[in-house]
Structure 1
């Protein structure tokens, strides 16, 4: 678990930059509100989301002209999306000091690191939980001066308390001071290089950079452990090495399609739904279990994800997602080069796309023209090695209309059919971790040639799914065969029938013999006897032997 504390130096952040930064913080809170606390490691049964985001800022006091640090949002147990939005939206917008625009550094005391890294602020967050890691993110457009001994001691003490400090410099300088800031950046980086819990990054504050920072902060909040894997080869891939260790990093993070209305208890604000999301017959508090009356309920609430609730004045605007009515509209946005398309961004169920056999205009000539245009489109895209990016209000995974845009890629082929796959949108993409190169180009070339020689020894074929069985049928057949040893069991609606009499056995073996002995046909049997005949089943031993003989035979035997 990692708690994030943002420290914004509002004196150095210009109004446009502060506006973009505020939107980034709101996006981070929105992502966290719909996230699963345990990620890949576990599924949390908690009814609320842990409060793991704090927000502080530095401004200049108009009276004393000295810098001050203030808390905008302090973690208090359960995360409140509404309160965090309120805190971010109410950050002072008049704290920017233009005279600091061309300044490269500010003093360490002005940054108030000592105030934030104290028992009154960051160290008091998380209670007595020693497993809680904390991270301070200092965002400014000015560097700190060379760290003095006091500031270094504060940072060393923070490391002992499992607190890391990330200095983020959003460059806002004129072209005339590029050389000066470069020297200052190098000096600051060297100054903190011996502090293991400190890191420094300088970024240009454009939209892509801020989006990447948001996703990195989200990964800290979610605290997901990377899956570890190994690539094992039948032969050594290099010298005595026959396996390569790697980490599995997800590239896709799905978002929800709607915000569902719900009732919550007024005492704790928890949804009054069972674990399957169904409204409970009796309204009881999920925490205390006490039955709630009408006045104890808040009816107008919306669920954002599974553990975040917004109290609303009303949700009359809410409309439940509708099932898709065909035909589904896919609006073509642009062409894209398939060579530049990352496979990690293609998600969801694929759909084979062929020309329609029944055109909207019931005309043979129109249908033929539709087919020819489709084939021409597929051939043209294939020759260009390009696909079409489309948008739609239909989510093909749920087959429901969604208020959010869904994006798709139409992939051509050389045989006249195309493939439709869903593409991840900006909210659903997680940045790929940076991979540092520990060897130069010459070493990389030598390694490539050595590994290539080993790869050529591995059989190369076109992939044919028919020749790659997963073993499903073999496993299920074996389970059924083992189950047959228990014989045939009656269903819940059936009763165990009594032992059949000799007359019933004779009836099933030959109905004509029964007619001759009784002088009646089957429809003239007494009602109770007919019910016994209809309900009778062969003994379990006979049925088991018959089925076992069937399943043990080889279905592929010539």
Structure 2
């Protein structure tokens, strides 16, 4: 398990930069809350996020470390939001030294890597990581800090320095400073350094990286082998691979629920509660009306928010036909990654609306609808493009979604079109291992050997009728065995 502690150098973070960083931390907490549960069957959401910051005392001019949020047993989305939103916004305090360059404040890293803070969080077997976020970095690391970092390595603690470079006319060139700092930590195996320009895409990518850090213990890729009938190279007939998910399903909305006042957990057995009365899901004791909190909202499986009495949420409603899809834009199918397409595909064919079917004199409208469909399909096919659509309906569940659902409408050659679900920004997972195989060159003899092996395989258009899975054979055997018992 990995516990991640964020250390923010507020002295170096301007107001716009801090605002974007706070939004990123809130997004991380939101995704952690809803995306953990379907992969981990635990009854609770473990708390593995810490938040600290450094500010300058205006009176003593000394740097001070503050702990905004320390991990508990269960993660509290509400308390973490409160901690992030309460970060001081007036602590930006850059200093110019005699050479005209910006001097960096001590990041109080030694105070974080201590028994009073980081080492007191989590159990003995947990792996800890500190992410330092700053706009300025020191040119050198003194011997005391280096010793602290080496001691952290002995305790399986990694430290990642993230520099958010600022573009401003009054700032001097910090490239030499960056290179000097990178050399200082190059011999420390537990330390890493990354520099970014603070842009929207950068913050979006950082959130996904941090989410992966929190979920490393559940995100081990599935090992797979692709086995061929003939040798690919030498005596090898197989290629070993990792299978990793490309998208992470998020929920379509938040449902209201009733919770017990004693433990704050949803009432068990809703049907029993309706007939016999509510009971506590922990003690199973019967509850009176005063013992029940009516205004609670369930976020994911394990997180409950208690709401004011005047605020409520609507349950997701079943969608009635027809379902509306709003066309947003065209997209080149050749550039569309199959990794962002998920869910069940739906064939799309032209049909008559109820209004057209009810009016016998509207047959020309019916014919026009068919012509428009065929014309659209033909035009998209010639452009090799599809249409990106949005809807307030999740066609997997046929329920209204609180958030937008995106779809791709793909053409075919003289046939029906295909509607498939597209992942949104919150659902896409990072894929960081792509450079591991892109940088490898393939010798000519291996290319020839692989082509020779491929040419030994039959080549034909896929027809599912030709590929039986054995369902009928297996079920027939089960029924036959069952009949033996009379």
TM-score, structure 2 as length reference: 0.92
Residues 74-131 of structure 1: per-residue CA shift (max 9 Å, x gap): 1122211111111111110101124469856625xx11010000011011011xx222
Q: 1:265 aligns with which of 260, 263, 267?
A: 260
Q: Contact (CA 8 Å) 1:273, 1:280: kept in 2 or not? A: no
Paired residue for 2:251? 256
Q: Contact (CA 8 Å) 1:337, 1:387: kept in 2 or not? A: yes
User: How many correspondences in the alignment?
Assistant: 478
Paired residue for 1:184? 177
- Cα distance change of structure 1 residues 230 and 348 upon mapping to structure 2, 3 Å threshold: same
Report the alpha carbon displacement of residue 455 of structure 1 after superposing the two structures with TM: 2.6
Q: Contact (CA 8 Å) 1:104, 1:184: kept in 2 or not? A: no
Report the alpha carbon displacement of residue 289 of structure 1 after superposing the two structures with TM: 4.1
- For residues 422 and 104 of structure 2, the distance between their equivalents in structure 1, rounded to whole angstroms, comes to 45
TM-score, structure 1 as length reference: 0.80
- For residues 472 and 461 of structure 1, the distance between their equivalents in structure 2, rounded to whole angstroms, comes to 24
- For residues 346 and 139 of structure 1, the distance between their equivalents in structure 2, rounded to whole angstroms, comes to 34
Look at both structures and tell me which one has the larger radius of gyration over its CA atoms.
1
Which shows bigger deviation, 91-100 or 417-426?
91-100
Cα RMSD, aligned residues only: 2.5
Q: Say which structure, 1 or 2, has more relative contact order (CA 8 Å, 6+ apart).
A: 2
Paired residue for 1:27? 27
Paired residue for 1:3? 3
Q: 1:159 aligns with which of 153, 156, 171?
A: 153
- For residues 22 and 310 of structure 2, the distance between their equivalents in structure 1, rounded to whole angstroms, comes to 27
Q: 1:71 aligns with which of 59, 67, 72?
A: 67
Report the alpha carbon displacement of residue 345 of structure 1 after superposing the two structures with TM: 0.9
The within-5 A match list for 1:215-294 is 215-223=208-216, 224=218, 225-274=220-269, 281-294=276-289
Residues 388-425 of structure 1: per-residue CA shift (max 9 Å, x gap): 00111111001111221111110000113211111111
- For residues 271 and 289 of structure 2, the distance between their equivalents in structure 1, rounded to whole angstroms, comes to 23
- For residues 97 and 69 of structure 1, the distance between their equivalents in structure 2, rounded to whole angstroms, comes to 15
Paired residue for 1:200? 193
Q: Contact (CA 8 Å) 1:352, 1:419: kept in 2 or not? A: yes
- For residues 342 and 479 of structure 2, the distance between their equivalents in structure 1, rounded to whole angstroms, comes to 35
Paired residue for 1:458? 457
Report the alpha carbon displacement of residue 383 of structure 1 after superposing the two structures with TM: 0.5
Report the alpha carbon displacement of residue 194 of structure 1 after superposing the two structures with TM: 2.3
SS of aligned partner of 1:483: helix
5+ long unaligned stretches in structure 2: none
The within-5 A match list for 1:319-334 is 319-334=314-329
Q: 1:352 aligns with which of 344, 347, 359?
A: 347
The within-5 A match list for 1:386-397 is 386-397=385-396
Q: 1:119 aligns with which of 86, 102, 115?
A: 115
- Cα distance change of structure 1 residues 149 and 413 upon mapping to structure 2, 3 Å threshold: same
Paired residue for 1:343? 338
SS of aligned partner of 1:422: strand
Matched, 1:14 2:7: no
Paired residue for 1:366? 365
Paired residue for 2:421? 422
